[in-house]
Structure 1
Amino acid sequence: MDNRPVGVFDSGLGGLTAVREIMNILPSENVIYFGDTGRVPYGGRSRETIIKYARQDVQFLQSFDLKAIVIACGTVSTTAMDVITREYTLPIFGVVDPTARRAAGATRNGKIALIGTQATVRSGAYERLIQKWNPEAEVRAYPCPLFVPLVENGRFRRGDIVIETVASEYLKPIRDWGADTLVLGCTHYPLLMDVIGEYLGGGVVLVNSGVEVAADLKRQLRIRDLTADPGQSGDCCYYVSDSVEGFSQLASVFLNRDLSDSVEKVDIEKY
């Protein structure tokens, strides 16, 4: 058993969808979450900038005595994962591999669509891994740059004309193509599942990267004998790089529970 916390980071609040799943399936684990809200979104940045930000995020989390880190950010997982895992000895897990594996096994007609940030789509990481697990699959990737800022501003509910208009523009080529599986290649996107599901119809499987990375974390902790004492109740500490005002209200939506824990601001440029 190992009661040290797991660190989780994302470019903003999106990684809280992964934290929610971790809390659900690993209720004994302590979690330290960092959301880089002052620099969100990462998706339109250069590879060099994304790597720089990822290094700073990891350095901050390593100021705690952690047993593992989850990169709950599709952009970092696809763009900087190779660099980060080479530079640090701590076990580090990203969203891409478990999500790609799930999508490869879920498709029935071999047509898999991916939506993500511009950096995620540019990397080609999901396509390579999906075709590794299912060589017969055809994968098409679609950048959705407006989804993250809209979600970060609370515009993700059905009936919101802004998000529904943007979603229909982004998703129409996917519906027209006839994909039966859609990878939500950013941890912000699970908040849009109702909007996306309604537009695409019930026959399309939506693969939630937050769910998949949480399940992978559970498996990896067991393999490494790093699981927490099952008798304890885990908690979560939250850190952000911008104002904490308003974070708790929106974070409660991401977590699907009231956020009673305190939130602290961090000067991430120090790391």
Structure 2
Amino acid sequence: MSNSAPIAFIDSGVGGLPYLQWVREHLPQENFVYLADRKNFPYGEKTSGEIVDIVLHAVKSLRDGSYPKMLVIACNTASVTALDAVRKAVDFPVVGVVPAVKPAAMSSRNKRIGVMATRRTIDGSYLQRLIDNFAPDCHVEKVAASGVVSFVENDFFRASDEEKLEIVENAVNLFSGEKVDKVVLGCTHFIYLDEILKKRLGGDVEIIDSREGVGRQIMHVLEINRLFSTEKKEDVFYCSAESPGDSYRLFAQMFGLKYSGVMEGL
């Protein structure tokens, strides 16, 4: 495996791009390929078996097309469902994304935290295990906000600030009523609305996502496997189906990636 091979990121859409951005800012010499699996969006409304099959198929296409040196499953729903299956299927390191319950619980002053995620993640056993293991002394208010995922994917660029406020209003009201002081973004898509959430929840509530934790894990895996790149190439954005309104070209441009259309084999 070449050290100049890319680090591949996969998500059901554009949610993983802020994670790629964090890693690129800290490791500018690395090469990246991003896959937005639009054809199967959203993952959060599918069964566990469907998600495993979908992710394994996407990973095969990535492997055949660019043979990455590492894979990042940049989607909470896919990570908590398919991470083990993917690790068994490939011969390169795989890093997943999980809700940052542990740091939220450790830093909460009043031991009242909120978690926003897809319905699949909220109802799944993995999130409950995180809460049982790392936040047993906390009241955890869980909010399924799958509609926010579709909003970011389809309407982010054309939506007004008022529309962005409206889409998070239900979650904000629940969290405010429960007086939480930490809110965990348990879906990568939600990061696009973190400033809106901060504005609406107020300065006493901290918004927590897993970008730094995941990024540092990626750096650690590269280090222990001696996989750091010394040859910079072009970073590329692929999808499994075109997006409405050509928004994927805009997202690729926003994050400095070359838009390369639909990946072969998907």
TM-score using structure 2 length: 0.89
How many angstroms apart in 2 are the aligned matches of 1:124 and 1:52?
A: 19
How many angstroms apart in 2 are the aligned matches of 1:84 and 1:122?
A: 22
Unaligned runs of 5+ in 1: none
Q: 1:20 to 1:80 in 2, by over 3 A?
A: same
Q: 1:112 to 1:268 in 2, by over 3 A?
A: farther
Q: Would you say 1:69 and 2:71 are equivalent positions?
A: yes
Q: Would you say 1:166 and 2:163 are equivalent positions?
A: no
**Residue of structure 1 in register with 2:236 after alignment:** 237
How many angstroms apart in 1 are the aligned matches of 2:69 and 2:238?
A: 18
Aligned partner of residue 152 in structure 1, secondary structure: helix
Alpha-carbon shift at residue 38 of structure 1 (Å): 2.2
Aligned partner of residue 146 in structure 2, secondary structure: coil
Deviation per CA, 1:157-202: give whole Å up to 9, x if none.
9953333122111221111111111111111111101111111111
Aligned partner of residue 68 in structure 2, secondary structure: coil
**1:16-55 alignment runs, 5 A limit:** 16-55=17-56
How many angstroms apart in 2 are the aligned matches of 1:84 and 1:149?
A: 25
Q: 1:223 to 1:139 in 2, by over 3 A?
A: farther
Q: Would you say 1:265 and 2:266 are equivalent positions?
A: no
Unaligned runs of 5+ in 2: none
Q: Would you say 1:14 and 2:15 are equivalent positions?
A: yes
Q: 1:82 to 1:104 in 2, by over 3 A?
A: farther
**Residue of structure 2 in register with 1:140 after alignment:** 141
Q: 1:207 to 1:39 in 2, by over 3 A?
A: same
The one-letter code matched in structure 2 to 1:148 is: V
Paired residues of 2:4 and 2:232 also in contact (CA < 8 A): no
How many angstroms apart in 2 are the aligned matches of 1:165 and 1:146?
A: 11
**Residue of structure 2 in register with 1:192 after alignment:** 193
Q: 1:158 to 1:206 in 2, by over 3 A?
A: farther
Alpha-carbon shift at residue 134 of structure 1 (Å): 4.4
Paired residues of 1:131 and 1:137 also in contact (CA < 8 A): no
Q: 1:3 to 1:130 in 2, by over 3 A?
A: farther
The one-letter code matched in structure 2 to 1:10 is: D
How many angstroms apart in 2 are the aligned matches of 1:131 and 1:225?
A: 35
Aligned partner of residue 163 in structure 1, secondary structure: helix
Alpha-carbon shift at residue 268 of structure 1 (Å): 4.7
Alpha-carbon shift at residue 131 of structure 1 (Å): 3.9
**Residue of structure 1 in register with 2:87 after alignment:** 85
Alpha-carbon shift at residue 91 of structure 1 (Å): 1.1
The one-letter code matched in structure 1 to 2:247 is: G
How many angstroms apart in 2 are the aligned matches of 1:108 and 1:251?
A: 39
Deviation per CA, 1:188-244: give whole Å up to 9, x if none.
111101111111111222112333322221122112222222xx4453111101126
Give aligned-pair identity as a percent: 28
Alpha-carbon shift at residue 94 of structure 1 (Å): 0.5
**Residue of structure 1 in register with 2:106 after alignment:** 105
Aligned partner of residue 165 in structure 1, secondary structure: helix
Tell me whether 244-253 or 156-165 shows the greater mean CA deviation. Answer: 156-165
